[in-house]
Homo-oligomer: A and B are copies of this chain.
Amino acid sequence: MSDNLNTNQNDNDLSIPIKAAADARDVVALVDLIDPLPRSEALRELLHLSVEDRVLVLSLVPAELAAQLVEEAPSETAADLVEGLTAIRAAEIMDELDSDVQADLIGDLDEDNAEAILSEMDVEDAADVRRLVTYDDDTAGGLMVAEAFSFSDTQTVGKVLRDLASDDDDFERYRGQHPYIVDEDGKPVGVVSLRGLLTSKRSDLLTSIMTPPLTVPVDMPLFNLEDLFDEHAFLGIPVVEADGKLVGVVSRAAVSAAALERSESESLKRQGVVGDELRSMPTWLRSRRRLAWLSANIVLNILAASVISAYEETLLAVIAIAVFLPMVSDMSGCSGNQAVGVTMRELSLGLVRPSDAFRVWLKEVSVGIINGIALGILIGIVAWIWKGSPALGLVIGLALALNTILAVSIGGVVPLLLKRVGQDPAVASGPLLTTITDMAGFFFVLSLAALMMPWLV
C-alpha cells in the first residue's frame, strides 16, 4: 500500500479558519492559511466551503494563487469557480494561466460569461484563446499552448542567446521548448539545439545550425501524440495548421496529463459515472446524471428478468434453483468483466485494434474453457452438498461453465466491436455484457433444469 504523507499529516479542518479570514476580508491571514498547503490540499479545503465562500476566497487572494487553485480543480469545478467571479477578476486570474488552460476554461463557461471575460483580457491573449477553443480537446490543437519560442530565418544565434538570458516575463512560458525557426510564411523550417547554440558564434545565422523539425498537425489525436513522445525524447513538438503555419507547441507534460485524465474518466464511465462527477457539485445534478445511466440499465435488467419469467413453472418445481440464479449470472458477469478490462487495457496501450477481434476471441476462449470448467466443478459441488441433489449440482455447474465461456468470449470482443461501430467502449461494454450474461445465465440454468426435471424432483 502506498503510504501517503498527505493523508497522515494535518488532518484538522482548515476550512473553518479559512472561512473566518475570508469573512473578515483578512487577505494576509488567508494567504498564510492557504499558501503553505500543497495545491491539491488547498483545493480540498476550498471545496469544503459553500459556493459563495469559494468565490469570495478567490476574489481576495493574489491572482497567481487563485490561478493555481483554479488550475488544480477538475474542469467543471474550475468553470463553476470562475463563473462566480466578476469578469475583471476572472480575467486577472486568466492572465496567470497558460493559453491551453485558458482555452479549456473558456470552453467550459457559458457563452455570455466567456465573452465578458475575454473582453477584459489582453487582446492578443484573447485572440489566442478564441482560436484554441475551436480545436477538439484531445488533439494537438486542443492540448498545445499558442506561445511558441520562434525566430525568423534571418535571425542569429546571438538573438536567441539574448532572448534566453533576458528576464522577460514570457520566458517561463517557453520552458522546455527549443527555438523554432519559421520562414516568412510562418512555416517552421528548423529547430536548433542548445548544444548548437553554445558551440556557434553569436553572429552565425540560425539557419546555418538548424535541423529539420518534427511537426504535428493540429488535429493529431492524443493517442498518436503519446506514441510520438514515447519514441522521441522531445519535451515539446511544434504544431502546424493545415496550411503549414506554426500555431503552437504541444508539450510532453500536457500530453501526459491528458492521457491520465482520459484513463481516469474511462474508468469512471465503466462504473456508470458519466461526466466526471465530484461531490462538490450540486446534488440534483449528480443525481440526474447517475439516474440517466441507471434508467437505461433498468430496461436491460427487465430484458434479462423476462427469461426467468418465462420459466416460472420450472422454478416452482425446483425452488432451490432460485438460490443459484443470481450466483451463476453474477459469477459469469465477473468473468466477462475481467475480459473487458484486459481488452480495454490493450486498447489503451495500442496493442489491439478492432480488426483483432477474432484473435482476441481465440485467446479468450481458452481461458474461458479452463475457468469455466474449474468454476463449474466448484459451484456444482457446492450445489450438490448444499441442496443434497447431484442432478442440481450438474445443472448449476454445467450452466456456469457454459456461461463463463460465453461471458469471456463476449467480454473480450465487445469493446472492439463497439469501437468499430463508433461507440465508446468504456460506457457501453459493461451494461451490454451484463445483460447478455444475465440472460444467458438464467437461460442455461432454467433450460437445463427443465431438461433434467425427472432427476431434479
A residues neighboring B (CB under 8 Å):
1-7, 11, 38-41, 43-44, 47-48, 68, 72, 74, 138, 161, 164-167, 171-172, 175-176, 194-195, 198-199, 220-224, 227-228, 230-231, 233, 235, 252-253, 256-257, 259-260, 263-264, 266-268, 270-273, 276-280, 283-284, 286-287, 290-291, 293-295, 297-298, 301-302, 304-306, 308-309, 312, 315-316, 319-320, 322-327, 329-331, 334-335, 337-338, 340-342, 344-346, 348-355, 359-360, 363-364, 366-367, 370-371, 374-375, 378-379, 382, 386, 419, 422-424, 434, 438, 442
| Contact (A231, B334) CB under 8 Å given A279-B360, A316-B319, A322-B312 | no
Jot down 7 A-B pairs with beta carbons below 8 A, ordered by A.
A4-B224, A11-B353, A256-B259, A271-B341, A305-B326, A309-B386, A312-B323
Bound together, the chains give a CA A337 to CA B434 distance in angstroms of 14
Contact A341–B272 (Cβ < 8 Å): yes
| Contact (A323, B308) CB under 8 Å given A337-B271, A371-B291, A374-B291 | yes
Contact B223–A297 (Cβ < 8 Å): no
B6, B221, B325: the one contacting A5 at CB < 8 Å is B221
Interface residues of A, dominant DSSP: helix
* Protomer copies: 2
- Chain B residues contacting A40 (CB-CB under 8 Å) are 227, 230, 349-351
| Contact (A322, B298) CB under 8 Å given A176-B235, A267-B270, A287-B370 | no
| Contact (A341, B298) CB under 8 Å given A4-B223, A235-B176 | no
